[in-house]
């Protein structure tokens, strides 16, 4: 692939990952605020978090994305273009009907459909990235994957609310739809050539979840994804609650959260991709996990009273946790894409690893708060330190040897 074509492909993938985060940002952040302001009942808003469910369950249909496509469109483009079109239609309809208590049920339903389409498109986009990039380019693509989706989430959530305050709700939603339309246009005008698709022999191989399970190294990679997500969440998942109970103003908690998000995207994802080119993905994964463990230790020291609870220490702990989460995610996903690239079902393999990571995040987010209620904040943060140590030991052994290509 020449440099110009490779650059265009990279921009297209970046646009796709960015736009994939928008529906979740709208559903999780913007819609609850806009609908509640208009008088929508809490029983309606309670359904909004379910928009994230397809992202957890997408492993169950990932093999269908690998197995079925139209040769005239290309294996990955056959899914990316129609799914992105569904997202655009959903956003356009929400823009037309407006966000109000009267249209709440329609809006929630449309965002659920958009989330399902985005999750399905993500399977194809991840597979495309794994198949097309290698080496340092793959690390950069994974930085875009993690950071781009996160920025898209913020753009669709807080960004939508900010724009609504300046240009109105309808115009703000139209801007979001325009971003999705741009990524759809890039995918629509991109030609997936025969050289870019899999060979006839590979195409005859049926993708399946069991195909992932049977591959050497698959369980170790999935467990590493699960544990690394637990480490990231345990390292800073309690931080906001701890700061609120410590007497911080809500605005100050919001500022430290926003600063953490910037560190995750710029230093964690961007810096992590840069470090992978110099240290390798496994070492950067260890650096990220160690940073998350250090963050948990910093929060524990404040909760235990070993060090004074002050702004500087809180920002240092938040920064370490945010960098660790971003760097570990980029490194882990780089390893996962290399693994997927060596097999014959890139979409299924990548999705299985991602689902393991998402499951680790969800379970830890639920459990860590309950644990802190029983043993206090110091005990909750101490569990984060222990999880980090366990994950470091496991990844050092379980991911020590690269996975070889399987037939």
Q: What is the pLDDT of residues 60-95, one digit of tens each?
A: 999 999 999 998 898 899 999 999 999 999 999 999
Residue among 210, 215, 268 at smallest CA distance from 404: 215
Residue among 169, 178, 158, 164 at smallest CA distance from 99: 169
Higher pLDDT, 370 or 254: 370
Question: Could you tell me if 84 and 19 are in contact, meaning their C-beta atoms sit under 8 angstroms apart?
Answer: yes
Residue 368 has pLDDT above 70, yes or no: yes
Q: What per-residue confidence (pLDDT) applies to 195?
A: 41
Angstrom distance (rounded) from CA 21 to CA 155? 8
Residue among 194, 145, 178 at smallest CA distance from 330: 145
Tokens 């921009």 belong to 11
Opening angle at CA 180, ends 184 and 78, nearest 5: 30
Residue among 10, 96, 24 at smallest CA distance from 53: 24
Helix ranges, 305-345 (H): 311-342
Q: What per-residue confidence (pLDDT) applies to 196?
A: 45
Q: What is the pLDDT of residues 120-166, one digit of tens each?
A: 999 999 999 988 888 888 888 888 888 888 888 888 888 888 888 88
Lowest mean pLDDT among 94-98, 161-165, 182-186: 161-165
Opening angle at CA 351, ends 348 and 352, nearest 5: 85
- HSE (CB half, 13 Å, CA atoms) of 371? 17
What's the whole-number mean pLDDT along residues 326-334? 92
Q: What is the pLDDT of residues 196-219, one digit of tens each?
A: 445 444 445 688 888 898 898 899
With a pLDDT cut of 70, the percent of the chain lying above it is: 92
Residue among 315, 297, 302 at smallest CA distance from 242: 302
What's the whole-number mean pLDDT along residues 332-352? 89
Q: What per-residue confidence (pLDDT) applies to 404?
A: 44
pTM equals 0.82
Question: Could you tell me if 228 and 399 are in contact, meaning their C-beta atoms sit under 8 angstroms apart?
Answer: no
Query: Considering the chain, what is the average pLDDT of its residues?
Result: 86
Q: What is the pLDDT of residues 268-311, one digit of tens each?
A: 999 999 999 999 999 999 999 999 999 999 999 998 888 876 77
Lowest mean pLDDT among 12-21, 51-60, 395-404: 395-404
User: Predicted confidence band at 2 (pLDDT cuts at 50, 70, 90)?
Assistant: low
DSSP state of 30: I
Residue among 236, 241, 230 at smallest CA distance from 259: 236
- Per-residue DSSP letters for 217-256? THHHHHHHHHHHHHHHHHHHTTHHHHHHHTT--HHHHHHH
Q: What per-residue confidence (pLDDT) applies to 63?
A: 92
Tokens 């049920």 belong to 105
User: Predicted confidence band at 14 (pLDDT cuts at 50, 70, 90)?
Assistant: very high
Question: Could you tell me if 328 and 401 are in contact, meaning their C-beta atoms sit under 8 angstroms apart?
Answer: no
Question: Could you tell me if 235 and 324 are in contact, meaning their C-beta atoms sit under 8 angstroms apart?
Answer: yes
Q: Phi then psi for 298, rounded to 5 degrees?
A: -65, -45
- Per-residue DSSP letters for 269-295? IIIHHHHHHHH-HHHHHHHHHHHHHHH
User: Predicted confidence band at 362 (pLDDT cuts at 50, 70, 90)?
Assistant: confident
Helix 104-132 and helix 346-398, axial crossing angle in degrees, nearest 10 = 70
Q: Which residues contact 400 (CB under 8 A, 6 or more apart)?
A: 282
Tokens 């960098």 belong to 323
Angstrom distance (rounded) from CA 62 to CA 347? 6
- CA trace torsion 80, 83, 88, 94 (10° rounding): -160
How far is CA 24 from its chain centroid?
Answer: 11
Give the total residue count for the chain: 407
Pair of tokens at residue 361: 């995040």
With a pLDDT cut of 90, the percent of the chain lying above it is: 39
Tokens 């990235």 belong to 129
Lowest mean pLDDT among 44-53, 257-266, 307-316: 44-53
Q: What per-residue confidence (pLDDT) applies to 407?
A: 33
- Count the neighbouring beta carbons within 10 Å of the beta carbon of residue 40: 22
Q: What per-residue confidence (pLDDT) applies to 233?
A: 83
């Amino acid at each position: 692939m020449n440099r110009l074509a490779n650059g265009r492909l990279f921009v297209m993938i970046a646009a796709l990952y960015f736009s994939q985060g928008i529906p979740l940002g709208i559903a999780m952040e913007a819609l609850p605020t806009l609908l509640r302001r208009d008088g929508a009942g809490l029983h309606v808003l309670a359904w909004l978090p379910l928009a994230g469910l397809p992202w957890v369950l997408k492993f169950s249909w990932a093999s269908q994305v690998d197995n079925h496509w139209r040769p005239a469109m290309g294996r990955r483009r056959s899914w990316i273009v129609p799914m992105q079109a569904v997202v655009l239609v959903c956003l356009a309809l929400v823009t037309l009907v407006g966000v109000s208590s009267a249209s709440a049920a329609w809006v929630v339903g449309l965002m659920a459909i958009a989330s399902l389409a985005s999750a399905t498109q993500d399977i194809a986009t991840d597979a495309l990235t794994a198949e097309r990039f290698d080496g340092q380019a793959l690390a950069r693509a994974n930085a875009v994957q993690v950071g781009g989706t996160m920025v898209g989430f913020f753009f669709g959530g807080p960004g939508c609310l900010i724009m609504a305050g300046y240009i109105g709700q309808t115009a703000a939603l139209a801007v979001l739809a325009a971003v999705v339309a741009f990524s759809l246009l890039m995918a629509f005008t991109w030609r997936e050539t025969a050289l870019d698709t899999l060979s006839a022999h590979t195409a005859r191989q049926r993708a399946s979840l069991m195909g992932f399970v049977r591959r050497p190294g698959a369980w170790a990679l999935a467990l590493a994804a699960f544990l690394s997500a637990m480490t990231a969440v345990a390292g800073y998942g309690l931080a906001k609650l701890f700061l609120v109970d410590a007497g911080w103003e809500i605005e100050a908690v919001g500022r430290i959260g926003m600063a953490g998000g910037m560190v995750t995207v710029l230093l964690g994802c961007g810096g992590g991709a840069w470090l992978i080119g110099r240290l390798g993905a496994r070492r950067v994964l260890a650096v990220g996990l160690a940073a998350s463990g250090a963050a948990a230790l910093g929060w524990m020291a404040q909760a235990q009273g070993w060090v004074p609870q002050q702004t500087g220490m809180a920002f240092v702990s938040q920064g370490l946790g945010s960098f660790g989460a971003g760097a570990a995610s980029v490194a882990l996903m780089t390893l996962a894409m290399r693994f997927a690239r060596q097999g014959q079902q890139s979409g299924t393999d990548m999705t299985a690893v991602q689902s393991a990571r998402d499951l680790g995040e969800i379970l830890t987010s639920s459990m860590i708060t309950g644990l802190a209620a029983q043993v206090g904040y110091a005990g909750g943060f101490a569990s984060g330190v222990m999880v980090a140590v366990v994950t470091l030991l496991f990844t050092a052994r379980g991911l020590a040897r690269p996975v070889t290509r399987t037939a």
